[in-house]
Structure formats: structure tokens, C-alpha cells
Amino acid sequence: MPSTLIQIVDAALLSATQRSGAHLACRPGCTQCCYGVFPISQQDAARLREALKALEQTDPAKSQRIQARAAASRARLNPYFPGDPLAGILAVDYESSPLFADEIFTESGESLGDTEPCTVLDPTTGTCNLYEARPIVCRTFGPPMRTAEDDLATCELCFTHATTEQIAACELDPTLPALEAASNEAFNAAHNLHGETIIAYALRDQAPR
């Protein structure tokens, strides 16, 4: 199921990307979607841990930099983590927490929840250090995607000059959320897991297994 889900998502993304053409601003070095706190599934977390473990063998220095960034991120987020920071599990109502509602501010006056860099974002190249294992939310960000309110959401840098009809014609497969939910439910049941986490916590040595 995990590999099948990735294959389905990547195929749907390829189709949407081809239909979107120049309306998509997504390029290596564009980091618009790499800042801010966001939840990932336990299945996403497991893929990232496996990728980091493999990276430890092929490029230990890069792996150590990721782990250092993760530790620094946890240090900033721990006081405001909406859930169990030791287990790294978000509470069911995490979305209403001050961190996710952008009500926690840094010394420079910026919202911590909106400006926290992703742990696996390489600050030098502006690319993802674990790109092949990136979470589903990262894979699907950019092309028009149907929201729970039945609107079509896109990255604010994309489709800036597109008409409503052009945006609709590039919609990502609307069945993906249901497929992802079923896959995550099966994964959690098989591994006795629950809830969601954040990448910095997923990559901790004692991350939930």
C-alpha cells in the first residue's frame, strides 16, 4: 500500500504538472512551501526516517546537518508543541493551538508557526535533502487541489494570471485525499500507531515507531 500510494500520487502530480505548464512556479530553489509548521502522517514519518538512515551511510555529514537542524527546530517548538512533545504526537485539536494559529512570535516579531524552516530544507541550495521521501503534502503542493470547503487551492506563487477555467482544468486528482487517508489508516493499524507529527519530531532518535 505505501509504495502504491506514492506511485498514484506521483502519477497524478505528473498529470497536473503537464496540464499546468507555465502556471506552475515550482522549481528547485523555490522554498515557498518549505516554511511553517505542518502535520505529516506516521507513514510519511516512517519514509523520512528510512531515507535519513540510508543517507547516514552514503553522506553522513549531510545526515548530521539534518539532525542538527531537527534538534534546533525542536528546541524552538517544544514550548508550544500542541500535543505530546516527548512522543512527538500532535493533539487531535492541534489546528486551534497558538502555534498553528500563528499566535506565537519570534523575537523579530515573525510568526513562529509560519516561518519555521523545514528540517530537511537545505538552507544553502534551497532544495530538499530527502526529496524522494518527502511527505504527501509536499508532493501535492502547487497544482490546484480541492479543499474540504470544495474550493480549489493553489500556491500563492502559482496560477497568478490564470482564469478560473484554467485553474479548474489543472486540478489534481480529487480522489487522492481519500486514498491517502485509507493508506494511512491501514499503516497505523499495522504498526499500532496513531495521530500525526512534525518532521523535526519524526527524525528524532526516539521518534515514535
pLDDT at res. 147: 87
Q: Provide the 3-class DSSP secondary structure of residue 116.
A: coil
DSSP bridge pairs for 153: 145
Alpha-carbon distance 39 to 54, whole Å? 23
**C-alpha cell of 145?**
487541489
**C-alpha cell of 51?**
531515507
What are 72-82's pLDDT values in tens digits?
999 999 999 99
pLDDT at res. 3: 64
Q: Does the pLDDT value for residue 64 go beyond 90?
A: yes
Q: Does the pLDDT value for residue 209 go beyond 70?
A: no
Alpha-carbon distance 190 to 184, whole Å? 10
* DSSP 8-state code for residue 127: S
Alpha-carbon distance 108 to 111, whole Å? 9
- pLDDT band with cut points at 50, 70 and 90 for residue 148: confident
User: Mean pLDDT, the chain, as a whole number?
Assistant: 94
Averaged pLDDT, 106-120: 96
Q: Provide the 3-class DSSP secondary structure of residue 6.
A: helix
Q: Write the single-letter amino acid at 143.
A: P
